[in-house]
Amino acid sequence: MDLSAINPAILIASLMIAATPILLAALGEMVVEKAGVLNLGVEGMMIVGAICGFAITIETGSPALGFVAAAAGGAVLALIFGVLTQILLANQVATGLALTLFGLGLSALLGQGYTGLKPPAVPQLDLGTLSDIPVLGRIVFSHDIIVYMSIALVVGLWAFLKYSRAGLVLRAVGENHDAAHALGYKVVRIRLMAIAFGGACAGLGGAYLSLVRVPQWTNGMTAGAGWIALAIVVFASWKPARVLLGAYLFGGVTVLQLNLQAAGVAIPAAYLSMSPYLITIIVLVIISADRSRAALNAPGSLGRVFHASS
């Protein structure tokens, strides 16, 4: 066992990359839940985004077009969920689970013929001498644009939900859709826009997996990332900054267990591999112990069916 082989700067930089797909998906789901909708299909939207982004990147040679296609693929799949639950009033939990199964099957179908191919590299941003700063340059200034975009999205969503009128309307719809409807707000339209945004974010997260994190396509490559994103939203109490913290915590545990395996730590690899998921479960159990606090932070209309009475 040689722990000295683990470079802290590289470890932190790697955890930012590992956390980005989950962070994007969790931020999208947070907005959806802020609107009062529970979409359990994040895993399905991520895997569809992964194959859409990968396939378009391979066919066009442009990672930028791949990310656009991934966002579009995730949004389309999310809107299917939106139509079923918001217009046809289907059960949100059952429809979300079905969406995940559908996404996994669709991605396997679309992914035939792309296994083993290598996509063009996503370019790193050229930040000049900033990248050469000892330690800090490797950690902060050596990433691609999607990493920085995910962090900017945290700040943007915080400001949107806290200070903008549109954010206030979104929160009002999520807290009490009947009252929002009585005030004249288009509850279904607002929720559909939130659902589409959540799907686009999940699709981007999936594409980041297949184009950057693990630059290849394999069936089921999300490996539960969508479920972790759902758990992080609850862990974060529906707050953007806490979503960032939760995603980076999970990313850190994931990268650390890989580094410990490489360092030859005398723990079976299976235990190290399951540690990120185990820690997520433990955190959720701790949070669930305080039910009153969880209920206080959750949007009031979360998961409830809205039917306009007038």
The CATH number covering residue 236 comes to: 1.10.3470
306 assigned to some structural domain: no
Specify the DSSP class assigned to residue 144.
Answer: B
Per-residue pLDDT tens over the stretch 182-202:
999 999 999 999 999 999 999
Report pTM. Answer: 0.91
The pair of three-digit structure tokens given for residue 22, joined into one six-digit string = 């989950």
286 assigned to some structural domain: yes
- The DSSP annotation for 229-247 comes to HHHHHHHTTT-HHHHHHHH
Q: Please tell me the predicted confidence (pLDDT) of residue 272.
A: 63
305 assigned to some structural domain: no
- Give yes or no for residue 178 having a pLDDT over 70: yes
Per-residue pLDDT tens over the stretch 126-152:
777 777 787 787 788 888 899 999 999
Tell which wins on pLDDT, 157 or 2.
157
Could you give the C-alpha distances from 105 to 22, 57, 67, 113, in angstroms and in order?
A: 21, 21, 21, 15
3-state secondary structure string, 153-164? HHHHHHHHHHHC
307 assigned to some structural domain: no
Do 260 and 272 meet the contact criterion of CB atoms below 8 Å apart? yes
Do 67 and 53 meet the contact criterion of CB atoms below 8 Å apart? yes
Nearest CA-CA partner of 30 in 172, 181, 202, 151:
202
Average pLDDT over residues 8-25: 88
214 Rama class: left (phi>0) / alpha (psi -120 to 50) / beta: beta
Specify the DSSP class assigned to residue 101.
Answer: H
Q: Please tell me the predicted confidence (pLDDT) of residue 310.
A: 47
Tell me the residue range of the domain where 196 lies: 3-297
309 assigned to some structural domain: no
Q: Please tell me the predicted confidence (pLDDT) of residue 35.
A: 96
308 assigned to some structural domain: no
Amino acid at 152: A
158 assigned to some structural domain: yes
The domain total for the chain is: 1
Average pLDDT over residues 84-89: 94
Per-residue pLDDT tens over the stretch 23-39:
999 999 999 999 999 99
Nearest CA-CA partner of 297 in 306, 283, 287, 282:
287
302 assigned to some structural domain: no
